[in-house]
Amino acid sequence: MSATSIHRATTGISNEYAHLRRHDDARPTPRAGGESMSTDAPESEPESDPADSEPTLEGGYDPEAVEDRWQRRWIDADVYAYESDAERDPNTVYAIDTPPPTVSGSLHMGHLYGSTLQDFAARYQRMADGDVLFPFGYDDNGIASERLTESELDIRHQDYERREFQELCREVCQEYEAEFTEKMQDLGTSIDWNNTYKTIEPRVQRVSQLSFLDLYEKGREYRKKAPAIWCPDCETAISQVEMEDDERGSHFNDIAFDVASDGADREEFVISTTRPELIPACVSVFVHPDDEENQDLVGETARVPIFEQEVPIIEDERVDMEKGSGVVMCCTFGDQNDIEWYQAHDLPLRVAIDESATMTDLAGDYEGMSTEEAREAIVEDLEDEGYLRDRWEISHAVQVHERCDTAVEYRVSKQWYVEILDHKEEYLEAGREMDWYPEKMFSRYKHWIEGLEWDWLISRQRDSGIPFPVWYCADCDHEIMADRETLPVDPLSDEPPVDSCPECGADDFVAEEDVFDTWATSSLTPLINAGWDWDEDAEEFRMEKPELYPFDLRPQGHDIISFWLFHTIVKCYEHTGEVPFDATMINGHVLDENREKMSKSRGNVVEPDEVLADFPVDAVRFWAASAAVGDDFPYQEKDLTAGEKLLRKLWNASKLVDTLAPREPEEPAELEAIDRWLLAELDDAVDDLTAHLEEYEFAKARDRLRTFFWNTFCDDYLEIAKTREDEPSTQYALRTAHRTFLELWAPFLPHATEEIWQAVYSDDPADLENTSIHVRDWPSPQGYEADLEAGEAAMDVISALRRYKSENQLPLNADLESVSVYGPIEGFEDAIQNVMHVQELTVLEEEPEVTTEIASIDLDYSTLGPKFGSKVGEIDSGIESGEYEIVSAEQRSAEESSSAERSSADSRAAQPRDDGDEPRDRDDGVLRVAGEELEDDLFEVERERTYSGEGEMIETESAVVILE
């Protein structure tokens, strides 16, 4: 399907989702703050879609029409399409390994934020290097898709045949994928819609099954019946990475066990547990070898209360003597320690809890109860029979399945694993080979690997997913693998590749019913996008697009470093021996305005649809660049409003430039000082922005560009240009700067910059593939030289004089008789005089006599009151009467040094000298008043500077101006 047909298909989704569309006909046009940035058509004319009109600078900026216009045309013209060339030098291609979002619902703020950051990188690199692959995928297999289908259709997967339920999943996911596509296009992301994939499609199934077979043949996978982490709600095994801690309320229970051995030193002992429902699964009791108080129990036999089974008491160093009584029961299974004891001591297996967290027949009278119900019932019976010695409330971390927040259990089952524990050092080294943005995120990756305790469990007992390409001999359980050339296969419907078992000769086979963990497939995205496959003729793995691998960038959230990033490195390293990407960019989370995590239960979720209905997309993109990559940051509407104001500023500045200068002015032989300075400053800004964007410092790039564009160019230089519009030097500087600003803003504000570029500078707006601003070369410094400090000081002076005229209600062309300046303005004297109509300008060699006085001292009464009590009144009076002293840090340090020397001289004979002792050096000054010393965190001093000479003084950051 072409990108054009994809776009058209998404606009035809069912009415059920129509309310989610951003460009709904019923959507109101006013923007935030009650303003409307669109122009209304005359009522007498028939309605037409403004997005179909041609770009123009006439009127105000209409974001809705502009955004829709370019989103359509970019896709129709394949502006962002990547064409593969296997012979191309990989260094000339920039490839992004984009995260395939889980198809489990609507677009949320995290999608919007993360996708926009990826687009910043893609757009910049496309202009800087030319060839960029920015693909898009949908992760539509696994638990998330099943839960979405069950919720959407109000069904349970257990009520359907596997194939029937899978088909329902495909239908539901397809609708959500169409919605997702439309929304991503509405964000203006420069995705290549010809390069998309779904993790359940046949091509990806083949890659996933090839990965399984390759790792199996390399001895990196195994199937084993062993204790595994189990989610009772999802009724499937899960991996360690899918667990997270959740703080929950519970009870600690002190329970007495009888000593069953004859001749024992005592009759009973007490264990402490939060899970009394596991008592029927108790198989032993453990004591630490160093626990002298309980050593007499080792070697004895204990009788489990209520259930009466007798179990051995064994010593083991893994017992935590500080927890409870120091004596612990081992049940199969309550936690990781139970599993380790079970394996190390060859203990029996007692299964009291089934796959749905329901008590089994081993629980006797409690059979059929949920674990929560059994817990309360058993505690009640323990108390009735005299075994419950104490019970108190606690709050502790419970391990839950991150998908459904259900507390996990541990069950023995036969599962497939990828062996990873023996390659932890290799995976760490692979992580060190990558560049991390921000660098601090490597520590999360490192800590995850260091804390690994389990191999990667990749099998799931679910219906929706990619099947294992495996059959088993019904007689001997020998594993039969599918042939590579037949992939993808489904053992439930396809025949095995052999007629008889190569191990025992039997001809009856059992199909594997489990499916892959979704991460086992999504971890292959670099190989999927590079076209990794088995070459039958060459008998080796090859890539259809080798120029892409390794990928340049893996962008993702910090919450899935242990999920997606780690597993991708595992898979790709084991298959290719290489790190799959050169760099990873880790974004943070969007929080609410109080810096709290957004959640539906708290009611603090900000819906992207609402944001995009109120603000232009480019304003939302401006907001997305407001935080450093890797940092969690609050959603604040003021950033969106600031973005909206910037769009108006860019639009209005463009219109002004278009009236002040011809569109293609020639460069004069000699540039005026102020114009040359502007272009030199522009060169400096280009250098800075390029460096920031290469390091994925989008916030720094945005802020640097905004400050220069808004303050220097718009507020200062454009005002100057209005008085010099007939000067060829100014005309050239204006146009050069304007073109460059559009190119620099293009990655951040793609819609507005495209509209302005096409309206002003494009020869053929219809030929977007060649004329789009987004396929232009990224600006490079042009080598203009000027005294940047002097130019900046001159601009400060001009701004100060313009402000002076405005405040005194003088026209801007009014003459100023005499102005003196103290500051580095050499070479720009004429510019100041000409622009501000100064008849006589004097450059001072020495700073004018300026007196600095204390205007006020503000006290922090919230801290001062509790500390000084009734003394606060005296402190106030002392400040009001001027009877106070402010001692600087340097003065105070000198006083303390002098005092220390005097004290040292008095005691030197009796006290040995410590060469390590030095006078204490305080960083902060103090306020001495009313016999007290106030540290600088208790007060704030406001000072004012006054000029005592003739005339009026104006101070700027870099100069002092005197008007006479």
- For residue 551, which of 584, 518, 520, 587 has the smallest C-alpha distance? 584
End-to-end CA distance of the chain: 74
- pLDDT in the model for residue 913: 33
Contacts (Cβ under 8 Å, ≥6 apart) of 759: 55, 56, 57
Residue 399, classed as helix, strand or coil, is strand
Low-confidence ranges of the chain (pLDDT < 70): 1-52, 104-106, 241, 599-601, 893, 895-924
Distance CA 303, CA 311 (A): 6
- For residue 655, which of 717, 718, 709 has the smallest C-alpha distance? 718
- For residue 211, which of 609, 572, 582 has the smallest C-alpha distance? 572
Residue with tokens 């305790």: 453
Distance CA 299, CA 175 (A): 64
- pLDDT in the model for residue 48: 55
- pLDDT in the model for residue 54: 86
Q: Where are the alpha helices (DSSP H) in 459-540?
A: 518-522, 525-530
- pLDDT in the model for residue 320: 86
Distance CA 253, CA 259 (A): 19
Residue 623, classed as helix, strand or coil, is helix
Q: For the range 803-811, what are the long-range contacts, defined as Cβ-Cβ under 8 Å and sequence gap of 24 or more?
A: 803/954, 804/952, 804/954, 804/963, 805/836
- pLDDT in the model for residue 43: 37
- pLDDT in the model for residue 325: 84
Residue 310, classed as helix, strand or coil, is strand
CA distances from 927 to 737, 900, 945 (A): 51, 21, 21
- For residue 177, which of 112, 96, 78, 106 has the smallest C-alpha distance? 106
- pLDDT in the model for residue 308: 93
What is the signed CA dihedral for 309, 312, 314, 319, rounded to 10 degrees? 0
Distance CA 529, CA 87 (A): 17
272-324 per-position pLDDT tens digit: 999 999 999 999 999 998 898 999 999 999 999 999 999 999 998 888 888 87
- Taking the CA atoms of the chain, what radius of gyration do you get in angstroms? 36
- pLDDT in the model for residue 507: 95
Quote the DSSP letter at residue 32: G
- pLDDT in the model for residue 940: 87
Contacts (Cβ under 8 Å, ≥6 apart) of 275: 331, 334, 375
